[in-house]
Amino acid sequence: MQFTTPLLHGKLIRRYKRFLADVELDNGEIVVAHCPNTGAMTGCAEPGFDVYLSPSNNPKRKLGYTWELAKTFNGDFIGINTHNANKLVAEALDNKVIPAFSAIYGWKAEVTPPGADSRFDFCVYTDAGDAYIEVKSVTLLSDNKGYFPDAKTDRGAKHCETLGNLAASGVATTLVFCVQHTGITNVRPAEHIDPKYAAAVNDAHGKGMRIIAVGCEINEQNIKVNQTLPVIL
């Protein structure tokens, strides 16, 4: 996923009200950027982090900048924009980067399976039938481990319950953790943050839902899925 315009570099002053961030650009100007991330962003929004913003020339936008990347004091890049996770997985599906989906011959986004009451990120088409994928963006790093979620998510638990029930009925389902943090080398459910979600993941996995984690190469020019990572339950 190539950034369509060159990103602007600055230093993070603060993130607040969930969707706002104050940033000092290299020229000394202080701007307010949109923060496209509803999570707690633990460890991703420390004052003084290097940050990268995409500018907008849309006069109808209230804020002229979007916060895309952060760089930690250890030099790890973080993809702040959670909306990019689906774009990254879509690109990886097209390019056959994820081995588990190398045999698909097409996909469609935002699909509700027959008889289900939840819409999932992707339906992929295979010779064995349709399969459903739900994508989660992972950025929480703690004690050299990656975790999801970084805040409680009843919606995420419901998705897992539905995916598990579909898997038990013979429909192929997969939970994909898209890791947008270059310091994360493995992923596990964050039982210490949301035990209900962790239990839902384990229950769905026991019913046949597949779980995959993919890591990304991240820099100021682009983000792309480049590897699979271990998932620890």
CA distance 23 to 51: 8
Kindly report the number of other CB atoms within 10 A of residue 66's CB atom: 20
- Mean pLDDT along residues 46-59: 93
Percentage of the chain beyond pLDDT 70 is: 100
What pLDDT is attached to residue 187?
98
What pLDDT is attached to residue 77?
98
Domains in the chain, ordered, with CATH?
Answer: 8-76 (2.40.50.580), 84-229 (3.40.1350.60)
Strands of 172-179's sheet in order across: 106-111, 120-126, 129-138, 172-179, 210-218, 223-229
Instruction: State which amino acid sits at residue 206.
Output: G
What pLDDT is attached to residue 32?
97
For 26-36, write each residue's pLDDT tens digit: 999 999 999 99
Res 196 pLDDT > 90: yes
Res 4 pLDDT > 90: no
Per the listing, tokens 């890591």 go with 215
Kindly report the number of other CB atoms within 10 A of residue 192's CB atom: 9
pLDDT confidence tier of residue 177, bands split at 50, 70 and 90: very high
Average pLDDT score, the chain: 96
Res 104 pLDDT > 90: yes
Kindly report the number of other CB atoms within 10 A of residue 116's CB atom: 15
Res 56 pLDDT > 90: no
